[in-house]
Amino acid sequence: MNSRTAGRTDGPLDRPSTAIRVENVSKTFDTAAVLHDLSLDVRAGELIGLLGPSGSGKTTLLRIIAGLDAPDRGRILFGDDDATGLAVQERAVGFVFQHYALFKHMSVADNIAYGLNARRRADRPVKAEIKRRVGDLLDLIRLSGFGDRYPSQLSGGQRQRVALARALAVEPRVLLLDEPFGALDAQVRKDLRRWLREIHDRTGQTTIFVTHDQDEALELSDRVAVLDRGRLEQVGTPDEVQEHPASATVMKFLGDSVEVEAIAEGGRVLVRGRETPVVAPAGTIGPVKLYVRPWQLQLAEPESAHLSGTVRSSYRTQGRQRIEVVDAEGRVLAVEDFDGVRYAAGHPVGLRINGGHVFG
């Protein structure tokens, strides 16, 4: 699917020591619970995406790790050290804010140097050293020569990179990014994603980022943590969460799917009495919901079909044929097919189920 899977077999995944441990964290704002008893281990050197719809608590979790919010219950550990009581200044995290929070009145170079200049005199690098570090970081973010500009003179993507360099300048234990590409337009997003992945591969920096965009999480992360309404639904590699979603919520959140009434019986799943290739979880018996992706549906002759309906519309997108079928109950079923046959609206068709998931 992309270059990283091939190039990184001997990457950070081989040394899964825990860099950050979130232990039974709960958080309530005013009266609304935002996080419920949530636990998560982040491995050293990994790039992990916190994926969830808005209101799922992912940004709150990120802020609690950074020390910007305090948990009501639970602990945050950095390595083996309890960091729950540490002030934000003492945590040595690099936080990239959603809207960057660049200091408007400071040049790019001063923004990047801010964390170093804020140190006590004894710990502060000498001026020349700060200058060198800023220069290196400007090179890293490919903005050499932009040090004297001001944030207002930069494009959105450039600001994003400056915010990243500013966070990296303090050599943080962990890099935390809140919707890092949320405020950018589509093309810049794509470029920056690839670039962030490159930076990560080069620096090996433990990184947590928050996103509501499935493609972004799946493309970028070593592992994805799916959150919903303050609970952790699943953690796993992009392949794991896609191929083996742990719940209907994860399934639905990761892409389009159709809900089909089915019967589970001795490990098999039947739709309208016809067997499907789907395996039911052990012990599941009786009526169940079968979740099917559009590409797991195929047009078929009525005698071998699980479902039937009439074509509402069909169109081509990115080399695939997408057909929308309306069944007897008026539900719209999306089918993705390579068949290439064009169907007129109103044409009756049968659909065969080639795969799907049933959750216990």
Partner 1 sequence: MVETPRPKTSLLRTFRRPSVIPGFGISFGYTLTCLGLIVLLPLAGLVAKASGLGLSGIWEVATDPRVASALRISFGVSALAALVASAFGFLVAWVLTRYRFPGRKLVDAAVDLPFALPTAVAGIALASLYAPDGLLGAPLARLGIQVAYTPVGIFIAMVFIGLPFAVRTVQPLIAEIDKEIEEASATLGATRLVTLTKVVLPPLIPAVLTGFALAFARGVGEYGSIIFIAGNLPYVSEIAPLLIVIKLSEFDYGGAAAIATIMLGISFLTLLAINLIQAWSRRRFGYV
Partner 2 sequence: MSEIFSPIAVPAAKPAQVASEGAATRAILIGIAVAFLALFLVLPLFAVFTQAFSKGIGAFLDAFREPDAWSAIRLTLTVAVIAVPFNVVFGLAASWAIAKFEFPGKSLLITLIDLPFSVSPVVSGMIYVLLFGSQGLFGSWLIDHGIQILFALPGIVLATVFVTFPFVARELIPLMQEQGTAEEEAALTLGASGLHAFRTVTLPNIRWGLLYSVLLCNARAMGEFGAVSVVSGHIRGLTNTIPLHVEILYNEYNFVAAFAVASLLAVLALITLVLKSVLEWRFAGELAHGRAH
Q: Is 75 in the site for partner 1 (CB under 8 A)?
A: yes
Minimum separation from the CB atom of position 221 to partner 1 (A): 27
Q: Are 202 and 122 in contact (CB under 8 A)?
A: no
Binds partner 1 by CB under 8 A, chosen from 3, 82, 132, 348: 82
Tell me which of 14, 30, 123, 301 binds partner 1, using CB under 8 A. 30
Q: Cβ closer to partner 2: 150 or 359?
A: 150
- Residue 295 binding: pick among partner 2, partner 1, none (C-beta 5-8 Å cut-off by kind): none
- Smallest distance, Å, CB 229 to partner 1? 21
**Residue 66 Cβ vs partner 1, minimum distance, rounded to whole Å:** 9
Nearer to partner 2, 47 or 169 (CB): 169
- Residue 103: name its binding partner from partner 2, partner 1, none (Cβ under 5 to 8 Å by kind): partner 2
Query: CA 250: distance to chain centroid?
Result: 12
Considering beta carbons, is residue 30 or 329 the nearer one to partner 1?
30
79 binds partner 1 (CB under 8 A): no
Taking the complex as a whole, the smallest distance from the CB of residue 68 to partner 1 amounts, in Å, to: 5
In 3D space, the residue among 235, 233, 201, 196 whose CA is nearest the CA of residue 216 turns out to be 196
Determine if 71 is a binding residue for partner 1 (CB under 8 A).
yes
Nearest approach, Cβ of 165 to partner 2 (angstroms)?
12
Dihedral sign (CA 275, 280, 286, 290): negative
Phi, psi of 183 (to 5 degrees): -95, 15
Question: Rounded distance, CA 277 to CA 343, Å?
Answer: 27
Alpha-carbon distances of 192 from 47, 166, 198, 302, rounded to whole Å: 15, 16, 10, 48
From the list 70-78, 196-204, 234-242, 280-288, the region that binds partner 1 by CB under 8 A is 70-78
For residue 186, give the amino acid letter: A
Q: How far apart are CA 309 and CA 299, in angstroms?
A: 11
Are 10 and 160 in contact by the 8 Å Cβ rule? The answer is no
Contact residues for partner 2 (CB under 8 A)? 66-68, 88-89, 91-95, 97, 99, 101-106, 114-115, 118-119, 166-167, 169-170
- Kindly report the backbone phi and psi dihedral angles of residue 282, in degrees, each rounded to the nearest multiple of 5, phi listed first: -55, 135
Residue from 13, 33, 44, 68 that binds partner 1 (CB under 8 A)?
68
Q: Which of 2, 5, 29, 99 binds partner 1 (CB under 8 A)?
A: 29
Tell me if 145 sits within 8 A of 158, measured CB to CB.
Answer: no
359 contacts: CB under 8 Å, gap ≥ 6: 245, 246, 247, 248, 251, 281, 289, 291
Residues 83-112 that bind partner 1 (CB under 8 A): 84-85, 87-88
**Shortest Å, Cβ 29 to partner 2:** 10
Cβ atoms of residues 211 and 51 within 8 Å: yes
Instruction: Give residues in contact with partner 1 (CB under 8 A).
Output: 29-30, 67-72, 75, 82, 84-85, 87-88
